[in-house]
Amino acid sequence: MKNLIIRVLSILLIFSTTISQPAVSQSFSAGTFVPRKNIRENINLDNLASDQTYKNSFKEVLKNINSGYQPTIRSLVSPTVDKKRQKRFEKSLYEAAKLWSPYFKPENVTIVYIGPKDSKWADEVVKTEKLESMLYAPISELLKGDGKCNFALAGKPNGNYTIITCLETDELKQLQDGPHEYTHFFQYSNNSIPDYAPCWITEGMAHFYGEAIGYSKSDKNRREGFKMYKSQTINFDIQSNKNRNKRTLPKLMIKNSVEVTKNLYQGMESPGAGGKASGCYVLGGMAFEVLVSKYGHQKVVEFMLKFNNSKDWKNNFKSTFGLDVTDFYSKMTPYIAFMGKKIM
């Protein structure tokens, strides 16, 4: 059952195969037309090491939020939940629902909102709603710990798309929780989780879309985004599954070595999500910045939908993006080094 669990600690925390041609927009300059290139054309696999890469990827995502879809949600709300936080969570989740709606319109979405003092209520709801398979520990334990309650978990217990969340603060980064978890719903719908996609894809993708949809527009100089990456550098080696000094991963990243980059990603190829190495979020998130920036959102969709028909993710990657995933890792090396400096 553990495989069925998608868990996210937020403190660390499709059938259209038509690829639209990039539209070339034009702008006036000194009385003449100056064609402005589509944002995607500026990025190629040999010039990734720049802020433009992630900036373009965020723009690309926001551009694709253009449907009026809104899922029907059943909310279970504990007595002390901050209503404002609940509204914020819903609002950013709805944006993710719009983005994925051409490919995924779920029935039966349940969101359980828990206030930090409502563990008894939460334990009861887990029992009556049969949500045990989503949890690695009873809610009462999740709420104790360090006195914080920041978490959001997504799962599909009994076939129902479900999120359990406790929102303790008003921080900007919390706006990523809804889109992050909803992106996991989309992954469930194409069968990439729980068993087939490597963690850098599962969590990297959720992390990337969480940030892009949730708060990238309001995050000046990407302050919050880099802070979040920094907090997730503690564990990147699934095999040893040991926490490391936070600077170890950035130090490896800035080596700008193809071999080191390949090893880092190959160390995160085991399938699954949540509860694995936090490096899956960091390095996976950066990989999706590159994929979306270079190939566009629709290509990523095309890739994920292939899980419906084939579990061979490496082959799916190659047939979608036109290169071996190992070569992709190599090509990302300068970007990884560039980003390593940002999160030292």
Side-chain half-sphere exposure of 80, counting CA atoms within 13 A: 12
Instruction: Report the DSSP pairing between strands 109-113 and 161-166.
Output: parallel
Q: How far is the CB of 197 from Zn ion (least distance, A)?
A: 12
Six-digit token string for 325: 């995933």
Q: How far is the CB of 205 from Zn ion (least distance, A)?
A: 9
> Comparing C-alpha atoms, which of 228, 74, 78 is closest to residue 139?
78
For Zn ion, the nearest residue by Cβ is 8
Q: How far is the CB of 334 from Zn ion (least distance, A)?
A: 27
Q: Which is nearer to Zn ion, 121 or 225 (CB)?
A: 225
- Contact range with Zn ion by CB under 5 A, out of 7-15, 114-122, 156-164, 192-200: 7-15
Size of the site for Zn ion (CB under 5 A): 3
Six-digit token string for 198: 């490597």
Q: Which is nearer to Zn ion, 60 or 203 (CB)?
A: 203
Give yes or no for residue 253 binding Zn ion (CB under 5 A).
Answer: no
Q: Which is nearer to Zn ion, 171 or 327 (CB)?
A: 171
d(CA 166, CA 153): 9
Consecutive H or E run containing 32? strand 32-36
> Comparing C-alpha atoms, which of 317, 71, 89 is closest to residue 213?
89
> Comparing C-alpha atoms, which of 121, 118, 113, 120 is closest to residue 84?
113
d(CA 33, CA 30): 8
Q: How far is the CB of 159 from Zn ion (least distance, A)?
A: 20
Q: Which is nearer to Zn ion, 209 or 317 (CB)?
A: 209
- Interface positions, 68-107, toward Zn ion (CB under 5 A): none
5, 8, 135, 201: residue in contact with Zn ion (rule CB under 5 A): 8
Q: Which is nearer to Zn ion, 43 or 212 (CB)?
A: 212
> Comparing C-alpha atoms, which of 68, 46, 66 is closest to residue 297?
66
Q: Which is nearer to Zn ion, 116 or 285 (CB)?
A: 285
- Contact range with Zn ion by CB under 5 A, out of 1-9, 35-43, 69-77, 85-93: 1-9
114, 134, 153, 206: residue in contact with Zn ion (rule CB under 5 A): 206
Q: How far is the CB of 281 from Zn ion (least distance, A)?
A: 8
d(CA 221, CA 205): 21
Asked if 193 contacts 273 with a C-beta cutoff of 8 angstroms, the reply is yes
What is the binding site for Zn ion (CB under 5 A)? 8, 203, 206
